[in-house]
Amino acid sequence: MATMRYREALNEALREEMQADESVFVMGEDIGVFQGAFKVTKGLLDEFGEKRVRDTPISENTIVGMGVGAAMAGLRPVVELMTVNFSLLAMDQIVNHAAAVRYMFGGQVSCPMVIRMPGGAGHQLGPTHSHSFEAWFLHVPGLLVAIPSTPADAKGLLKAAIQDDNPVVFIEHETLYGQKGEVPENGGAARFGEAAIRREGDDVTVVGISRMAITAQRAADVLASEHEIEAEVIDPRTLRPLDLDTIVESVKKTNRAVIVEEGWPHGGVGANLAALIQEQAFDWLDAPVMRVTGADVPMPYSKPLEQAAFPHEEHVVQAALSTFRNV
Amino acid sequence: MAEIVMPRLSDSMEEGTILKWLVTEGDEVKRGQPIAEIETDKANMTYESDTDGTVSELVAKEGDTLPVGDVIARIGDGDSRSSLAAGREQDEREEKDEEQDESEPEPDQRPAASGQQNGGERVKASPVARRMAGEMGVELARLEGSGPGGRIVKADVEAAAKDGGARPRERGPEAEPAAAPQRGEAGAKGEVEFHELTRLQQTVTRRMAESKATAPDFLLNAEVDMSAAVELRARLKEVADPAPSFNDMVVKAAAVALHEHPRVNAAYRDGRFELYSRVNVGIAVAGQDALVVATIFDADTKSLGQIARDARELIEKVREGRVTPPEVSGGTFTVSNLGMFGIDSFSAVINPPQAAILTVGALKKRAVPDERGRIVARDMLNLTLVCDHRILYGADGAQFLDRVRELLESPLSLAL
C-alpha cells in the first residue's frame, strides 16, 4: 500500500494507462502546460509529449466531439472538462453522440472514451462551478457513471474507465483532490458495478453518493457513539452500472434506508434509488426511505450559505433517527 | 400459486362457511394437512390442503359463507421463510431507541399496500411489520406501535410474538369455545355458569332457528298398531344379529313410502321444489352434546337387516365422535325417535331444507277396539309428521303418513 492523495491517484492511473496503451491520450483546457486546474495531469506533458497531452481552447462541445471522433476511429481519449457545470455545454456530444453512436451503428463502432469532470461544492465557486450533476448523466442509457470517493477508487475506477469500451462519465469531487488514502501498489483496474460497504451495521442502511459516502461514515460514527444505532454505510462507487443487490440486501437486513447526495432533490440519484429500494424491498421496510440532498437552490457563493446548501453529518444523523422515531 | 376453492363436501352442498382457519398467512402447509374447518349444509368438517406450499393469502375470513368453487385461499411456492428467520435476529437495541413523542404526530399517513382493519380504522404499520405479522400470526390491531407517529415496526411484532402474542387472525363469530365455563352473579338466580357453544351447537342453533323462522310447518298424527311388527321382530330376533329395532322398521317403512311420494322426499329451496332421486333417511342421534343426524343412504332399496346394521354402526360412531361428514350429509328426510324416553308423541323442528321430519313415540300397550268392537290391548305407536307447507301440503302429507302406517301394520313386506 502507498499513501497518496486523490489527485495523485488519478494522475497515476492516467500515467499507467498511457504507458500501457499508446492509443490513450488526454485532452482538455489547461491540462498540459498548466498541468490541469486541479493538477491531475501533472507531469504528463513532459512524459508523453504534446501529441498525447493536448491543450484545447475553451470549447467544451468541440473537445468532447473530438474525443468521440477519436474514440470511433480507434483511440482511447480521456477528456477533461474543468467542472461538471461546463459539461452542460457539451451535452449534445455526450448524450446525442458519445452515448448513442454504438447503438446507432449497430455495434459497428464503439466509443471508448472517458469524460472526467470535477464537481461539488465547498470552494466558494458559486452556481456556475459547484453543482453535482450525477443524476443528469445517470439518466442517459449508454453512459457509464463513476463517482469515486477515495484515492484507491479514483485510481482503480479511472483505470477501469479507460480500459472500458463504453463512454464513461467520471465525476471527481473538488474537495477530495487533496484527501489522502491508501492505494494498492501495482493495483489493477477496479470493477464497475461493485459497491463498497464502508462500514457494517444492522440498524439502518446509509448510501452515500460521491463525497457523501465520507459524510455518511462520519454520521455513522455519531449514530453509534451517541444513539447506539449501527449504520451500514454503502458507497455505490458507480451509478451505472449500479450494484443494487448489495444495497437491497443491506436494506433487507436493516429495514431502513437513508440516501445521501449532494445534488438537488428532484429527479436526483436518491429519488431514483428510493424508487428502486421500495420496488425491491417494500416488504422489508420499517420506515419510508429517507433522502438527504443538497438544497433545492443554485449553489450560493457566500461561505455560510454554501455550507448550508449541502448535507453534513448532522443532517444524515437526523434522517437516520427519523426512521426510528419522531425527531 | 394454487387457488384453494370452497370444496363440495357433500352432494347437496352449494355453499360453505369457514368456521375456523387452522393456518395463518405465511404458514407452510403440506398436502393432506388440515387447513380449515368448514360448515356445510349438513356438518362441520375439516378440510385438508391438496397441495404443498406457503399460505400466501386467506381470501375468506372466518364466518364468511361462499358458494362452492369460490376462492377461499391462495397457496404459493413459499420462498420468503429464510428472510423471516434472518429478521428474527434483529438487534434489540432498536426497542430502546424507539421512544415515542406524542406531542408531534407523524405527518406520514400514507396507506400501505395491504390493509389490516380494526373497526374500519387503519392500523399504521410498516411494510416489514405487516409481512412478519402475517407470517407469525400476530394481530397488528392489538399492538402498540413504537415507531414514528405510533407506527408498528418490526421490533413490535417480534416482541409480541415472543410474548406469545402470536395468535390466529381475527376470530369469526364461530370461534373455538372457551374450555372452562365462566361464572358470574345473576342476582335472584344465584351464581351463573356461562358455557360457550361448541361449533356443533352453534350450527344446531342457527339451523333450527332458520327452520322455524322460514318453514310454515304443520303436524299430522297417526296411531299405528304395531302388534304384527312386534310379532315379526320376535321372530327376526331368532335369526338376525342385530335384530332390527322398531325404529329401523319405521325407517324402512318411511323409505318405501318416500319412494312412492316424491314430494316428501324433497325440499323447498330458492323458490322451487327439489325432488331427489335417492331416498336417504337421516336418523337423529343425540351425541357430542348436541344433535347429529346420521344418514342411511338408499334406505328404500336396503333390506331391513342392512338398515339395522347401518343404523347401529352410525349411532355408535356419533356417540364416539367418529362420524365423518359424508355420513351426516346427503339426507333427504329425517326420522326422530324419543320413544326410549317414554314420550308418547312429539313435534320436532324440520331439518332444513327437507320437506318433513317424522317423529316416533314410545311403543305402548293401549286399550283399543278390535274389528268387532271389543276393547283389546294392542302394541300402539304414535307417529307425527311435521311438514313444510311450502312444498308438502296436508293431503300429500296425510297420504304419505297413512302409507307408513299401512306398511308398519303389515310388516312382512318390510322384511323382504
- Residue-level pLDDT at B87: 38
- Residue-level pLDDT at B26: 85
Residue A65 reports pLDDT greater than 80: yes
The whole-angstrom distance between B108's CA and the closest CA on chain A is 9
The whole-angstrom distance between B144's CA and the closest CA on chain A is 14
Residue A311 near residue A262, CB atoms below 8 Å: yes
Average pLDDT over residues B187-192: 82
Q: What is the pLDDT of residues A194-204, one digit of tens each?
A: 999 999 999 99
Average pLDDT over residues B17-24: 87
Three cell numbers, residue A237: 462507487
Question: Is A280 near chain B, with CB under 8 Å?
Answer: no
H/E stretch holding A235 reads strand A231-235
- Residue-level pLDDT at B113: 36
Comparing CB atoms, the residue among B97, B100, B113 nearest residue A227 is B97
Q: What percent of chain B has pLDDT over 90?
A: 40
Contact A284 B128 (CB under 8 A): yes
Residue B308 reports pLDDT greater than 50: yes
Residue B278 near residue B249, CB atoms below 8 Å: no
Question: Is A226 near chain B, with CB under 8 Å?
Answer: no
- Residue-level pLDDT at B126: 92
Q: How many angstroms separate the CA atoms of B85 and A66, rounded? A: 56
Q: Which of A203-217, B128-142, B234-248 has the highest mean pLDDT?
A: A203-217
The whole-angstrom distance between B113's CA and the closest CA on chain A is 9
User: Residue B34, preceding bond cis, omega within 30 degrees?
Assistant: no
Residue A189 φ/ψ, nearest 5 degrees: -75, 145
Residue B140 reports pLDDT greater than 50: yes
| Chain B residues with CB within 8 Å of chain A CB | 80, 83, 86-87, 90-91, 93-94, 96-101, 104, 106, 108, 113, 126-131, 147-149, 151, 153-154
Residue A246 near residue A197, CB atoms below 8 Å: yes
Fold: same for A2-183 and A196-322: yes
Instruction: Identify the CATH number of the domain defined by range B2-76.
Output: 2.40.50.100
Residue A159 reports pLDDT greater than 60: yes
Residue B88 reports pLDDT greater than 70: no
Architecture per CATH, B200-415? 2-Layer Sandwich (3.30)
Residue B106: list chain A partners with CB under 8 A. 326
> Domain B97-162 is in which class?
few secondary structures
Check: pTM over 0.80? Answer yes or no.
Answer: no
Residue B187 near residue B369, CB atoms below 8 Å: no
Residue A203: list chain B partners with CB under 8 A. 91, 93-94
Residue B126: list chain A partners with CB under 8 A. 255, 285-287
Fold of A2-183: Rossmann fold (3.40.50)
Number of neighbours of residue B208 by Cβ within 10 angstroms: 16
Q: How many angstroms separate the CA atoms of B337 and B328, rounded? A: 17
**Distance between terminal CA atoms of chain A?**
43
Nearest 5°: CA angle at A18, between A15 and A21?
145
Residue A283: list chain B partners with CB under 8 A. 80, 127-128, 130-131
Contact A285 B147 (CB under 8 A): no
Mean pLDDT of chain A: 96
Residue B91: list chain A partners with CB under 8 A. 202-203, 230
Q: What is the pLDDT of residues A309-321, one digit of tens each?
A: 999 999 999 999 9
Residue of B nearest to A223 (CA): B97
Fold of A196-322: Rossmann fold (3.40.50)
Contact B83 A252 (CB under 8 A): yes
Q: What is the pLDDT of residues B48-60, one digit of tens each?
A: 888 888 888 888 8
B413 or A72, which is more confident: A72
- Residue-level pLDDT at B291: 80
Three cell numbers, residue B119: 373497526
Q: What is the pLDDT of residues B367-387, one digit of tens each?
A: 999 889 999 999 999 999 999
Amino acid at B56: S
Residue B173 reports pLDDT greater than 60: no
Q: How many angstroms separate the CA atoms of B315 and B242, rounded? A: 13
Q: Is A60 a catalytic residue?
A: yes
Residue A99 reports pLDDT greater than 60: yes
Residue spans per domain, chain A: 2-183, 196-322
The owner of cell 387503519 is: B122
Contact B98 A284 (CB under 8 A): no
Residue spans per domain, chain B: 2-76, 97-162, 200-415
Burial B307-334 (b: 16+ CB within 10 A, else e): bbbbbeebbebbeeeebebebbbbbbbb
Q: Which residues, other chains included, contact B1 with Cβ-Cβ below 8 Å and sequence gap of 6+?
A: B56, B74, B75, B76, B77
Mean pLDDT of chain B: 82
Instruction: From B247, B246, B273, select the one nearest B334 (Cα to Cα).
Output: B247
Q: Is B14 exposed, middle or buried (0-12, 13-18, 19+ CB in 10 A)?
A: middle
The model's confidence at residue A141, banded by pLDDT at 50, 70 and 90, is very high
Q: Which of A107-111, A121-125, A129-133, B6-10 has the lowest mean pLDDT?
A: B6-10
- Residue-level pLDDT at B288: 67
